[in-house]
Amino acid sequence: MKMRDRIAAALKDAMKNKEADRLSTLRLINAAIKDRDIALRGEGSEAELGDADVLAILGRMVKQRQESARAYEEGGRLELAEKELAEIRVIEEFLPRQLSEAEVNAAVTAAIEETGASSIRDMGRVMAVLKERYTGQMDFGAVGPAVKGRLSA
């Protein structure tokens, strides 16, 4: 089942079950996906967003909410932080399981070996392989420096 279909089905269930908070978050997800569709059409692309694109959008949404929750907690606004965390839980239902640190290290090692990377100049190829295979399963902001460290050592 495509990601869009899963989100649409969850939206219908939330409407039927009168789950207002969940429904609100699912509508935000749909809006983000439609915004990206419109942006692609504006660029002249006829292609539809694939599951990898939707996963990337969901990953960004989680990251934004984590930052907001952290800011709310630092500002003493715990009720708003809790709302952000609840939205994260709904969004994460559609994301694949996050890889553990050991699994990330193994994936990086495999990608380096597969691409034959030997220097920092090969980092782009390694990251491309990782993004192709593990979109939504790892934080590429954290993985990038790890790849860079391995290739410069």
pLDDT confidence bin for 55, thresholds 50/70/90: confident
Architecture of the domain whose range is 3-92: Orthogonal Bundle (1.10)
CA distances from 119 to 63, 124, 146 (A): 30, 11, 13
CATH code for the domain defined by 101-152: 1.10.10
Cα 123 to its chain centre, rounded Å, is 21
Q: Spell out the domain ranges in the chain.
A: 3-92, 101-152
Give the CA radius of gyration of the chain: 18
Mean pLDDT of 58-71: 92
Over residues 82-109, the pLDDT tens digits come to 999 999 999 989 888 888 888 888 888 8
